[in-house]
Amino acid sequence: MTNIKERAKELNGKIIEWRRHIHRNPETGFETPMTEAFIVERLREMGIEEILEGVGKHGVTALIKGERPGKVLGMRADIDALPVKEETGLSFASVNGRMHACGHDAHVAILLGTAKMLAENRKDLPGSVKLIFQPSEENSEGAPAMISDGVLENPSMDAIIGLHTGNLWEGPSTGMVGYRYGVLMAATDWFTVTFEGKGGHGATPHLTVDPVAMACQAYIAIQTIVSRETSPLNSAVITVGSINGGSAPNVIGPSCTISGTIRSLDAGTRAMLSERLKTVCKGIAQSMRGRAEVQLITGAPPLNNDSEITDKLREAAASIVGEEAVTEIAEPTMGGEDMAFFLEKVPGCFFFLPSMPGEGEVFPHHHPKFDLDESVLWIGSAVMAHFAMTWQ
């Protein structure tokens, strides 16, 4: 068998080349046809023949069959970008008003690097590896769409792994590997509340039913759902990210809308937060002579890593970077990931490859100046390939 670590290092230049091509040409949501075509072309160059296009609209799956008997392992990478205008000044920066500001370009390149090494080592590969390139992660719709299109079947998977690079978790430094047993990331739900009243002149508020006042009261009140109704031992977040109402400083409009996100780490807290938000907003509107329409959208569940697969992932990572460079992530993040939909169905592990640039300010994910350290991308490919060769 090829020395996976050394081969991955040799491939890092190609992984960087692939990452930069995708970075230069970002696509968002389900509308990822160019990224889909690029992935398919690269897979065909590797001699991988069992490729399915158009899964979840513009997702791709491919099957690498090993020559040794064994189980089926899934590997997933997200491929979509964000509607963010890039400000990095990089030579390969996007010019189309969108941006890979969350590392998905690197995820694709890392999985392509993994695929190449596995294709080169079919004779030693036990079982099969199903590659999953998924669109529309940012709105938590891509994984359910691919599942609906049958990604979990023909063949079904016995385990699944994936990674996130960048700077999401404190603790692990660039070039290390971070892992966590159990819950790693939060459930992500969304809400929009439209308060309706009666518009009128700003000089005569007593003749109106002010929906902006309702929205302001609701903004304050829903924060007490976390601070006074949720156990301090249960992490929870309700964030109002948008308030829209009114059209002029002397006019009270007929409606006002707030929208935001709800984050939680367990099913009971998740259900309570949504139900109480609905009750509080409707109650405040009614008490102020108005009404509220509440729309709740259920996103990804909490991302939960399987202990046995995580153990094996940790061992694979230690084989590549050494025990001292593999560390447990101390706390989950309230950020979400629709990899969680796959992990609801298939036992697996989602792990962390820190890749913070070594010089200058480190910008957070989704920032227009977000960047990563390309020199460590090979580690992700090596860990995933080594895991595929040894997990059984």
Per-residue pLDDT of 46-90, as tens digits, reads: 999 999 999 999 999 999 999 999 999 999 999 999 999 999 999
Distances from the Cα of 275 to the Cαs of 139, 236, 282, in angstroms?
22, 14, 11
pLDDT at position 275 over 80? yes
Options 3.40.50.970, 3.30.70.360, 3.40.50.720, 3.40.720.10; which CATH number does 187-298 get? 3.30.70.360
**Chain segment 249-266, per-residue pLDDT in tens:** 999 999 999 999 999 999
**Chain segment 325-347, per-residue pLDDT in tens:** 999 999 999 999 999 999 999 99
Q: In which band, very low, low, confident or very high, does the pLDDT at 202 lie, cut at 50, 70 and 90? A: very high
Average pLDDT over residues 117-144: 97
70 C-beta neighbours (distance < 10 Å), count: 15
Res 22: pLDDT: 98
Res 359: pLDDT: 75
Percent of the chain's residues with pLDDT above 70? 100
Handedness of CA 40, 44, 48, 51 (dihedral sign): positive
Q: Tokens 């189309």 appear where?
A: 96
Q: What is the mean pLDDT of the chain?
A: 97
Q: In which band, very low, low, confident or very high, does the pLDDT at 1 lie, cut at 50, 70 and 90? A: low
pLDDT at position 361 over 90? no
Domain ranges of the chain: 4-183+302-390, 187-298
Name the token pair of 18. Answer: 């692939």
pLDDT at position 366 over 70? yes
Res 372: pLDDT: 96
pLDDT at position 369 over 90? yes
Strand 182-185 to 303-305 pairing: antiparallel
Distance CA 327, CA 338 (A): 23
Distance CA 10, CA 276 (A): 54
Distance CA 366, CA 298 (A): 22
- Please choose, from the candidates 157, 193, 162, the residue with its C-alpha nearest in 3D space to the C-alpha of residue 290: 193
Res 106: pLDDT: 98
**Chain segment 148-194, per-residue pLDDT in tens:** 999 999 999 999 999 999 999 988 999 999 999 999 999 999 999 99
**CB-count exposure of residue 112 (10 Å: 0-12, 13-18, 19+):** buried
Domain 4-183+302-390 homologous superfamily, CATH:
Zn peptidases (3.40.630.10)
Q: Looking at the whole model, is its pTM more than 0.85?
A: yes
153 C-beta neighbours (distance < 10 Å), count: 9
Distance CA 130, CA 48 (A): 11
Q: In which band, very low, low, confident or very high, does the pLDDT at 358 lie, cut at 50, 70 and 90? A: confident
